[in-house]
């Protein structure tokens, strides 16, 4: 096991003994590849998961048709998808992005659905009393009402996205931080393993913090109420 | 002294029954009839769980009725062939636990109705809202969120949000429940002021007898489940009323009458509750 001092020296060395430090381009290339995969997968999960969750929560018939299938696929562990993902996509990026997308998609959609279901029934009734059409209810009640849960879902989704990304990269990648952890292990570059791990921790934290920031921006009423209470 | 509003908002509930299970052993409301004149502040009093809210929900169009019919200004809201009324801005509800949209500011809440119905432009609605807010002592709260308001203020905002739609009937479902007595008495005076100024028909539900008499033009006492109207009592206390009428002889006389009517029912409801528990 490398000591922390050793790791830190390696991490900040202009000429690292094992090839990876903040002064090497390769380091940033691995980070960029991983970040790009997460960005693509997370955007897809957001773009598909949130609308699906909203529709499932809002329209009973739609939920009755889609939710059973959804609940059948959701519990399949992400690692069980690996072989199929590799078979499904010929490209190198495909399987990893797909695995990352899949896990964050389920987290996003499910939390969005729960968010719609959490809305006080009287708010729907009030909206109807005030003359809302279904479209108005969707826009003014369903979407803002589900928003707190959506953002909880997105935080979870971001967490599982990094988890699945690393799993995917370890098995099917040729770049990226997960690949780096694994390849450093097989090539006996122990400080590099830890450098890659810390880096994953940092980018993971940064991405969650960004989501929180956007959430607070979009839901200022909550921030204000909490600080007033 | 009855407020007049050009004959708008006469509500007629005729022989309405409601059972929740389709097979029909459990009646929530049984053959219930009430006539509410335009501009009347009608209070329905009854023990908890007697079907008051069921009746209100049927008028509002939140659920269907099993038989009977309900008319608003001689137009059928629900009845044979149309078991459920369509909710609309002619009958706005103020909810027991409050239903302001938490993500909209006070002003956005109040202007929501007129704007969404395209009855007013945003600017018109804002002007109107500001005017109504000023009348109700709410000026300065335009940009607050509901979560920042006290329960009394929030309820007043909700009443104003209903009023800007110029509804025919305002449906109030125990709106002051759970407030302390001081807040409650302030809310009562504030509601009466709003009522005297706007001359709107009000259908008010409560189990607080003092509240019922202080506010009401007429009181209907409802029996315990299945709910029926047991007795209607006119409240001949002149308006405008303030808290001083609470100690008048007229008030006490009415208090005794209403308590007599309600007490038996409360007793029955209590015993039924005991049986259910056992």
Measured between beta carbons, the chain B residues lying within 8 angstroms of A145 are 103
- pLDDT attached to residue B85: 94
CB A61 within 8 A of CB A67: no
- pLDDT attached to residue A226: 65
CB A8 within 8 A of CB A18: no
- pLDDT attached to residue A1: 82
* Chain B nearest-CA residue for A128: B87
* Domains detected in chain B: 1-90+169-266 (3.40.50.300), 100-166 (no CATH)
Cβ neighbours of residue B184 closer than 8 Å, sequence gap 6 or more: B176, B211
* Chain A nearest-CA residue for B91: A129
d(CA B75, CA B158) in angstroms, rounded, equals 27
Letter string b/e over residues B8-42, b meaning 16 or more CB atoms within 10 A of that residue's CB: bbbbbbeebbbbeeeeeeebbbbebebebbbbbbb
- The per-residue DSSP string of A93-145 comes to HHHHHHHHHHHHHHHHHHHHHHHHHTS-HHHHHHHHHTT--HHHHIIIIIHHH
Please name the member of B89, B99, B161 whose beta carbon is closest to the beta carbon of A120.
B99
Task: Give A108 to chain B, closest Cα distance, Å.
Answer: 21
- pLDDT attached to residue B244: 87
Determine, for residues B102 and A219 on separate chains, whether the beta-carbon distance falls below 8 Å.
Answer: no
* First-last CA distance in chain B: 48
- pLDDT attached to residue A176: 95
CB atoms inside a 10 Å sphere around CB B250: 13
Cβ neighbours of residue B9 closer than 8 Å, sequence gap 6 or more: B36, B38, B39, B72, B73, B167, B168, B169, B200, B201
Please name the member of B117, B147, B162 whose beta carbon is closest to the beta carbon of A225.
B147
Task: Read off the pLDDT of residues A63-93 as tens digits, 9 standing for 90 and up.
Answer: 999 999 999 999 999 999 999 999 999 888 9
d(CA A137, CA A213) in angstroms, rounded, equals 27
Task: Read off the pLDDT of residues B20-68 as tens digits, 9 standing for 90 and up.
Answer: 877 767 788 889 999 999 999 999 998 877 789 999 999 999 999 999 9
Query: Three-state SS for A186?
Result: helix
| For chain B, percent of residues with pLDDT exceeding 70 | 95
Determine, for residues A123 and B161 on separate chains, whether the beta-carbon distance falls below 8 Å.
Answer: no
Q: Residue B2 — very low, low, confident or very high, per pLDDT cuts 50/70/90?
A: very low
CB B189 within 8 A of CB B242: yes
CA distances from A4 to A26, A37, A194, B32 (A): 22, 29, 9, 80
CB A104 within 8 A of CB A41: yes
With a cut of 70, say whether residue A151 has pLDDT above it: yes
Task: Read off the pLDDT of residues B238-269 as tens digits, 9 standing for 90 and up.
Answer: 988 988 898 999 999 999 999 988 888 888 87
ipTM: 0.91
- pLDDT attached to residue A222: 85
CA atoms within 13 A on the CB side of B240: 12
Task: Read off the pLDDT of residues B162-216 as tens digits, 9 standing for 90 and up.
Answer: 999 999 999 999 999 989 989 999 999 999 999 999 889 999 999 899 999 999 9
Looking at A110-119, B21-30, B124-133, B144-153, which range is the least confident one?
A: B21-30
Determine, for residues B145 and A136 on separate chains, whether the beta-carbon distance falls below 8 Å.
Answer: no
d(CA B93, CA B168) in angstroms, rounded, equals 11
Residue with more model confidence, A225 or A40: A40
Determine, for residues B92 and A128 on separate chains, whether the beta-carbon distance falls below 8 Å.
Answer: no
CB B128 within 8 A of CB B120: yes
Domain ranges of chain A: 4-228
CB B38 within 8 A of CB B201: yes
Cβ neighbours of residue A77 closer than 8 Å, sequence gap 6 or more: none
Query: Three-state SS for B22?
Result: coil
Measured between beta carbons, the chain B residues lying within 8 angstroms of A140 are 101, 104, 112, 116
Task: Read off the pLDDT of residues A192-208 as tens digits, 9 standing for 90 and up.
Answer: 999 999 999 999 999 99
Determine, for residues A140 and B101 on separate chains, whether the beta-carbon distance falls below 8 Å.
Answer: yes
Task: Give B173 to chain A, closest Cα distance, Å.
Answer: 12
Measured between beta carbons, the chain A residues lying within 8 angstroms of B162 are 129
CA distances from B162 to A70, A115, B109, B187 (A): 40, 27, 10, 16
CB atoms inside a 10 Å sphere around CB A188: 9
Maximal C-alpha separation, chain A: 71
With a cut of 50, say whether residue A106 has pLDDT above it: yes
Cβ neighbours of residue A60 closer than 8 Å, sequence gap 6 or more: none
Task: Give B49 to chain A, closest Cα distance, Å.
Answer: 18
Please name the member of B62, B87, B148 whose beta carbon is closest to the beta carbon of A228.
B148
**Mean pLDDT of all residues in chain B?**
90
d(CA B42, CA A147) in angstroms, rounded, equals 39
Please name the member of A120, A125, A224 whose beta carbon is closest to the beta carbon of B62.
A125
Q: Residue A182 — very low, low, confident or very high, per pLDDT cuts 50/70/90?
A: very high
Measured between beta carbons, the chain A residues lying within 8 angstroms of B89 are 129-131
CA distances from B102 to A69, A144, A213 (A): 34, 9, 20
Q: Which of A1, A10, A37 is nearest to A179 (CA)?
A: A37
With a cut of 70, say whether residue B278 has pLDDT above it: no
Measured between beta carbons, the chain A residues lying within 8 angstroms of B157 are none
Size of interface A-B (CB pairs under 8 A): 75
Compute CA B68 distance to the chain's CA centroid, rounded to the nearest angstrom.
21
- pLDDT attached to residue A225: 67
Residues of A within an 8 Å Cβ radius of B: 120, 122-123, 125-133, 136, 140-141, 144-145, 147, 219, 221-222, 224-225, 228-229
Task: Give A225 to chain B, closest Cα distance, Å.
Answer: 6
Q: Which of B209, B216, B256, B221 is nearest to B236 (CA)?
A: B216
What is the pTM for the complete model shown? 0.90
Please name the member of B62, B97, B116 whose beta carbon is closest to the beta carbon of A132.
B116
With a cut of 80, say whether residue B227 has pLDDT above it: yes
Measured between beta carbons, the chain B residues lying within 8 angstroms of A126 are 93, 95, 99-101
d(CA A102, CA A73) in angstroms, rounded, equals 10
CA atoms within 13 A on the CB side of B242: 1
Measured between beta carbons, the chain B residues lying within 8 angstroms of A144 are 101, 103
Determine, for residues A120 and B103 on separate chains, whether the beta-carbon distance falls below 8 Å.
Answer: no
- pLDDT attached to residue B262: 85
CB A99 within 8 A of CB A82: yes
Determine, for residues A125 and B60 on separate chains, whether the beta-carbon distance falls below 8 Å.
Answer: yes
- pLDDT attached to residue B243: 85
With a cut of 90, say whether residue B139 has pLDDT above it: yes
> Which CATH number applies to A4-228?
1.10.3720.10
d(CA B62, CA B36) in angstroms, rounded, equals 20
Would the CA dihedral through B247, B252, B253, B258 be positive or negative? positive
With a cut of 80, say whether residue A161 has pLDDT above it: yes
Q: Which of B199, B187, B174, B239 is nearest to B43 (CA)?
A: B174
CB B90 within 8 A of CB B169: yes
Determine, for residues B89 and A219 on separate chains, whether the beta-carbon distance falls below 8 Å.
Answer: no
């Amino acid at each position: 096991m490398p000591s922390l001092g050793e790791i830190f020296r390696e991490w900040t060395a202009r000429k690292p003994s094992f090839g990876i430090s903040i002064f090497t381009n390769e380091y940033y290339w691995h980070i960029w590849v991983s970040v790009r995969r997460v960005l693509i997968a997370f955007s897809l999960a957001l773009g598909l998961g949130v609308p699906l969750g909203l529709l499932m929560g809002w329209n009973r018939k739609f939920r009755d048709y889609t939710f059973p299938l959804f609940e059948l696929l959701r519990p399949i562990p992400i690692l069980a998808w690996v072989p199929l993902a590799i078979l499904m996509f010929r490209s190198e990026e495909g399987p990893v992005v797909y695995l990352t997308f899949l896990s964050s998609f389920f987290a996003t959609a499910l939390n969005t659905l729960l968010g719609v279901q959490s809305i006080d029934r009287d708010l729907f009734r009030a909206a109807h009393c005030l003359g809302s059409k279904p479209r108005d209810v969707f826009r003014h009640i369903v979407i803002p009402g589900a928003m707190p849960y959506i953002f909880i879902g997105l935080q979870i989704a971001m967490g599982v996205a990094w988890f699945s990304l690393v799993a995917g990269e370890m098995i099917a990648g040729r770049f990226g931080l997960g690949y780096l952890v694994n390849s450093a292990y097989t090539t006996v570059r122990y400080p590099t393993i830890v450098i890659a791990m810390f880096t994953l921790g940092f980018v993971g934290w940064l991405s969650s913090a960004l989501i929180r920031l956007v959430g607070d921006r979009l839901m200022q009423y909550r921030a204000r109420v909490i600080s007033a209470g | 002294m009855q407020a007049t509003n050009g004959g708008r908002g006469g509500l007629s509930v005729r022989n309405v029954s409601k059972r929740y299970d389709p097979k029909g052993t459990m009646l929530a409301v049984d053959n219930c009839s009430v006539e509410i004149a335009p501009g009347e502040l009608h209070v329905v009093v009854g023990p908890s769980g007697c079907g008051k809210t069921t009746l209100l929900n049927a008028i509002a169009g939140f659920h269907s009725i099993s038989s009977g019919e309900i008319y608003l200004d001689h137009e059928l809201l629900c009845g044979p062939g149309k078991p459920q009324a369509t909710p609309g801005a002619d009958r706005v509800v103020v909810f027991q636990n409050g239903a302001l949209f938490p993500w909209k500011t006070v002003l956005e809440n109040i202007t929501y109705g007129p704007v969404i119905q395209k009855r007013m432009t945003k600017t018109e609605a804002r002007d109107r809202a500001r005017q109504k807010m000023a009348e109700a002592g709410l000026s300065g709260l335009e940009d607050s969120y509901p979560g920042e308001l006290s329960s009394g203020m929030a309820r007043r905002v909700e009443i104003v949000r209903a009023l800007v739609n110029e509804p025919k009937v305002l449906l109030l479902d125990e709106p002051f429940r759970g407030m302390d007595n001081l807040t409650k008495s302030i809310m009562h005076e504030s509601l009466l002021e709003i009522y005297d100024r706007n001359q709107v028909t009000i259908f008010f539900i409560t189990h607080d007898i003092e509240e019922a008499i202080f506010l009401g033009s007429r009181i209907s006492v409802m029996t315990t489940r299945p709910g029926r109207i047991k007795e209607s009592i006119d409240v001949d206390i002149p308006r405008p009323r303030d808290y001083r009428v609470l100690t008048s002889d007229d008030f006490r006389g009415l208090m005794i009458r209403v308590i007599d009517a309600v007490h038996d029912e409360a007793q029955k409801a209590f015993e039924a509750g005991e049986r259910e528990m056992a």
